[in-house]
Amino acid sequence: MSEVRDFYETIEGCRTHILRGGQGAPLLFLHGANGAGRWMPFMAELAKEFDVIVPEHPGYGKSDTPAWLDNVGDLANFYLSFMKHLGLKDVTIVGTSMGGWIASEIAVRDSARISKLVLVASAGLRVKGTPPGDLFLWNAEQLTRNLFHSQELAEKMLAMPLSDEDRDIGAKNRLMTARLAWSPRLFNPELEKWIHRIELPTLVLWGRNDALIPVVYAERFREAIPGASVKIIENCGHLPHAEKSAEFVAAISDFAK
């Protein structure tokens, strides 16, 4: 197994926490509302084929919260600087949930350093009449149960002990998610106007049983991005990388290698 580097880079004045491992074409993983402070099994799997780069977004986890951070567009501009700073080219961006929203905003702005886009249970658009679940009104147990299709898995997650640091980071991530996505809730009307300009090969991945951002949103992204393909993972909730990691890795591998 390849070595994982755990390090910090200061970009746009923000000390940013990064995990990086593997070899191959660069794959930038953009996490969702829960952050990505640890090297997870699906990352190790992807690292067999890709140079996997997992930053924690500004305002999340061990990264700083910069004064300039008000919205997802700020993060999109940040990641353009991030890719330039690390000298990345021909990047496959994989964004889940909030990360998919950030990835879409990046690609609308400038796709010069990007080769492919994978949007997983992505936020960013709104299907009128089908609002996302209210993740801020759910309590911790409801949230976990709603994120997973398998309640057995949800129970396992709920039974895991939380350290004080986990709890602190959880509150920090939740605060930044509210700042970025409270209103309009989990979407940007400006993105809706311009997402059609994305010309990258795009894969839209979704769990059939997503209770936070329902699977009808996959169709919305396919309509919005010319040529995008959709893959639906059965018996899966909002976190395919965690709940169905083998299928998740296989889908990305097939699409991006």
Partner 1 sequence: MTAQTEFYLFHLMPYADLDVTQTDKVGSSWVTLPNSNYDPKKGHLLYNRYLDELEMGEALGFDGLCVNEHHSNAYGLMPQPGILAGALSRRTKNVKIALLGRALPLVNNPITIAEEMALLDNITGGRFIAGFVRGIGAEYFSWNANPAMSHERFHEAHDLIVQAWTREGPFAFEGKHFNFNYVNLWPRPYQTPHPPIWIPSQGSTETIEWATHPDRRYTYLQTFSPVDALAKYMKQYRDTAERQGWQATPDKLGWAVPCYVAETDEIAMREARPHAEAFYQKFLRMPPEMLLPPGYLSLKSMQGIMKAKAQMQTGDRSLEAVMESGMFLCGSAKTVRQQILDYQKKIGFGKILTMLQFATLPHDLAVKNMQIYARDVMGEIRKMESAPNMVAAK
Residues forming contacts to partner 1 in the complex (CB under 8 A) are: 134, 136-139, 164, 167-168, 170-172, 174-179, 182-183, 185
**β-pair partners for 114:** 91
Q: Which two tokens stand for residue 74?
A: 């700020």
If you search the block for the tokens 């895991």, which residue do you land on? 160
How far is residue 105's CA from residue 110's CA, in Å, rounded to a whole number?
A: 9
What is the Cα 238 distance to its own chain's centre?
Answer: 11
CB of 182 to partner 1, least distance (A): 4
Q: Which ranges in 136-215 belong to alpha helices (H)?
A: 140-147, 151-159, 164-181, 189-194
Query: Which residue, 173 or 202, has its beta carbon nearer to partner 1?
Result: 173
Task: Give min distance, CB of 176 to partner 1, in A.
Answer: 8
Q: How many CB atoms lie within 10 A of CB 211?
A: 19
Q: What's the closest the beta carbon of residue 102 comes to partner 1, in angstroms? A: 17
Give the shortest CB-135-to-partner 1 separation in angstroms.
10
Q: Closest distance between partner 1 and the C-beta of residue 178, in Å? A: 4
- Number of alpha helices (DSSP H) and beta strands (DSSP E) in the chain: 10, 8
How many alpha carbons fall within 13 Å on the CB side of residue 128?
2
Nearer to partner 1, 138 or 194 (CB): 138
- Strands (E) in the chain, as ranges, are 4-11, 14-21, 25-30, 50-55, 91-96, 114-120, 202-207, 229-233
Least Cβ distance, residue 162 to partner 1 (angstroms): 9
In terms of Cα–Cα distance, which of 83, 96, 71, 76 is closest to 18?
A: 83
Nearer to partner 1, 88 or 143 (CB): 143
> Closest CB to partner 1 among 87 and 189?
189
Nearer to partner 1, 72 or 252 (CB): 72
Nearer to partner 1, 165 or 234 (CB): 165
